[in-house]
Amino acid sequence: MSESPLPPKRPLPKLTEADTAEFWKRTRDQQLSYQQCSDCDEIVFYPRHHCTHCLGNNLEWRTASGKGTVYTFSVIRQSYHPFFRSRLPYAVAWIDLEEGPRILSNVVGLADPATLEIGQSVEVEWEPHEELSIPLFKPVSAPV
Amino acid sequence: MSAQARDAAIVGIHEYPSRDVAGLVSPLQIKAASAAQALADAGLGWQDVDAIYDAGEGGGMAGLNIAEYFGLKPNVIDTTSVGGSSYEYHAAHARRDIAAGKARVALLTYGSTAHSNAQAIGVGGRGGGAHPADNMESFSGMTLVANYAMVARRHMHEYGTTSRQLAEISTATRAHAMRNPQAVKAMEDLEFLDIRETTLDDVVNSRMIADPLHLLECCMISDGGGAVVIAAADVARDCRNTPVWILGSGEATKYTENGGDITTSAAAQSGPSAFAEAGVAPAEIDIAMIYDSFSITVLALLEDLGFCGKGEGGAWVEGGRLRFDRPQDGPALNTDGGGLSSNHPGMRGIFLLIEAVRQLRGESCSQVSGARLAIAHGNGGMLGSRHCAGSVILGRD
Q: Which residues of A touch B385 (CB under 8 A)?
A: 104
Q: Does B77 lie at the interface with A, CB-CB under 8 angstroms?
A: no
Mark whether A49 and A91 lie in a shared domain.
no
* Nearest CA-CA distance, residue B139 and chain A, Å: 5
Residues B222-255, buried b or exposed e (16+ Cβ, 10 A)?
A: bbbbbbbbbbbbebbeebebbbbbbbbbbbbebe
Number of domains in chain B: 1
Task: Confirm whether B373 is domain-assigned.
Answer: yes
Mark whether A88 and A33 lie in a shared domain.
no
The shortest CB-CB distance from B153 to any of A18, A72, A105 is to A72
Domain of residue A25 covers 16-63
What CATH number does the domain containing B22 carry?
3.40.47.10
Q: How confident is the model at residue B237 (pLDDT cuts 50, 70, 90)?
A: very high
Q: How confident is the model at residue B118 (pLDDT cuts 50, 70, 90)?
A: confident
Task: Confirm whether A31 is domain-assigned.
Answer: yes
> What tens digit of pLDDT does each residue of A53-89 get?
999 999 999 999 999 999 999 999 999 999 999 999 9
Task: Confirm whether A43 is domain-assigned.
Answer: yes
Mark whether A40 and A70 lie in a shared domain.
no
Q: Does B48 lie at the interface with A, CB-CB under 8 angstroms?
A: no
Task: Confirm whether A85 is domain-assigned.
Answer: yes
Beta strands in B79-133 (DSSP E): 105-112
> What tens digit of pLDDT does each residue of B251-305 get?
999 999 999 999 999 999 999 999 999 999 999 999 999 999 999 999 999 999 9
Question: Residue B319: exposed, middle, or buried by beta-carbon count in 10 A (0-12, 13-18, 19+)?
Answer: exposed
Q: Is the pLDDT of residue B224 over 80?
A: yes
Task: Confirm whether B263 is domain-assigned.
Answer: yes
Number of domains in chain A: 2
Mark whether A104 and A144 lie in a shared domain.
yes
DSSP, collapsed to helix, strand or coil, labels residue B165 as: helix
Q: Is the pLDDT of residue B1 over 90?
A: no
Mark whether A100 and A48 lie in a shared domain.
no
What CATH number does the domain containing A98 carry?
2.40.50
Cβ of B140 and A77 within 8 Å? no
> What tens digit of pLDDT does each residue of B330-346 get?
999 999 999 999 999 99
ipTM for the complex shown = 0.94
pLDDT at B216 (0 to 100): 98
Mark whether A55 and A86 lie in a shared domain.
no
Mark whether A81 and A95 lie in a shared domain.
yes
Task: Confirm whether A11 is domain-assigned.
Answer: no
Q: Which residues of A touch B125 (CB under 8 A)?
A: 11, 79-81, 84
Question: Residue B73: exposed, middle, or buried by beta-carbon count in 10 A (0-12, 13-18, 19+)?
Answer: exposed
Task: Confirm whether A3 is domain-assigned.
Answer: no
Mark whether A95 and A132 lie in a shared domain.
yes
Mark whether A51 and A30 lie in a shared domain.
yes
Q: Which of B50-59, B148-157, B179-188, B209-218 has the lowest mean pLDDT?
A: B50-59
> What tens digit of pLDDT does each residue of B123-167 get?
544 444 468 999 999 999 999 999 999 999 999 999 999 999 999
Q: Which of B56-65, B80-89, B307-316 has the lowest mean pLDDT?
A: B56-65
Domain of residue B242 covers 8-117+221-396
Mark whether A71 and A138 lie in a shared domain.
yes
Q: Indicate the residue among A5, A38, A63 that finishes a domain.
A: A63
